[in-house]
Amino acid sequence: MPRQLIAGNWKMNGLSVPGARLAGAIREAVSAAPPPCDLLICPPFTLVGTLAHVMLGSGVAVGAQDCHAKVAGPHTGDVSAAMLKDAGATAVILGHSERRTDHGETDAEVRAKAAAALAAGLVPIVCVGETWPEREAGRQEAVVAAQLAGSLPDGFAGTGVVAYEPVWAIGTGRTPTEADIAAMHAMIRRVLGERFGAAGGRVLILYGGSVKPANAAAILALPEVGGALVGGASLVAEDFLAIAAAAQV
């Protein structure tokens, strides 16, 4: 079994001094007591290069929260996967529900970005998840299956990571039941196997949505949960590290 991955999504948080302080605290703690999992922090674009430098040799990887689908060109304000790689990133979160909502990102755009990330040598972490009305209507599995079909490019398995993040659980303090998380992860595993064969069986499937130190151990112990994508709690070093310490070996 591959090591679990605990990934921190800093979202639009982190000026240079507090960002470096948070990264430094994580670096120090990890060097004193290495966690039983892989660690990734995804700060805003402005800190990717600096924090990749801070984390050099620490075992903690640095990623970004989005990229453009093209390598370069007339796309004012955008950042390409190749630029992120050049800045020291190893991974990129794609299709987060906040981007799907704030920027109207479609599955096709997420798929193109994921293909660009793979081409640049980055690990694409593709987010999928249903809204609360979709879950209430019993449509959660159909919604997530459609997002997977539309958002994952060919060649995704082997490198890419999927993050199941129910939209209604992000930043709300609400989480699905353990049975609901296990059922969704089993469905995602089945879909990945049907699409990618044996390689689909090895794709890490993270759970994201209000993961905290108090619920991390129970969530990370569920079948087919390959780690966690952590938002709010990744901004507090002790909380992020406590979640990492709860990883399964």
Contact between 208 and ligand PEP (CB under 6 A)?
yes
Please, which of residues 18-77 interact with ligand PEP by CB under 6 A? none
165 binds ligand PEP (CB under 6 A): yes
Catalytic residue status for 165? yes
Among residues 68, 96, 105, 109, the one annotated as catalytic is: 96
Buried b (16+ CB within 10 A) or exposed e, 174-205: ebbeeeebbbbbebbbebbbebbeebbeebbb
- Which residues neighbour 2 within 8 Å (Cβ) at sequence distance 6 or greater? 202, 204, 226
**Closest distance to ligand PEP from the beta carbon of 229 (Å):** 5
51 vs 170 by CB, closer to ligand PEP = 170
Which range of residues in 47-55, 68-76, 205-213, 239-247 is near ligand PEP by CB under 6 A? 205-213
In angstroms, the Cα distances linking 70 to 13, 73, 117 are: 26, 7, 10
209 binds ligand PEP (CB under 6 A): yes
Structure tokens at 186: 């089993």
Tally of CB atoms within 10 A around 155:
14
From the list 113, 118, 123, the residue with the least C-alpha distance to 42 is: 123
Segment lying near ligand PEP (by CB under 6 A), choices 80-88, 101-109, 146-154, 204-212: 204-212
Please choose, out of 50-58, 62-70, 146-154, 228-236, the segment that lies near ligand PEP by the rule CB under 6 A. Answer: 228-236
Do 92 and 122 contact (CB within 8 A), yes or no?
Answer: yes
Query: What is the binding site for ligand PEP (CB under 6 A)?
Result: 9, 11, 165, 170-171, 208-211, 229-233
Query: Which of the residues are catalytic?
Result: 96, 165
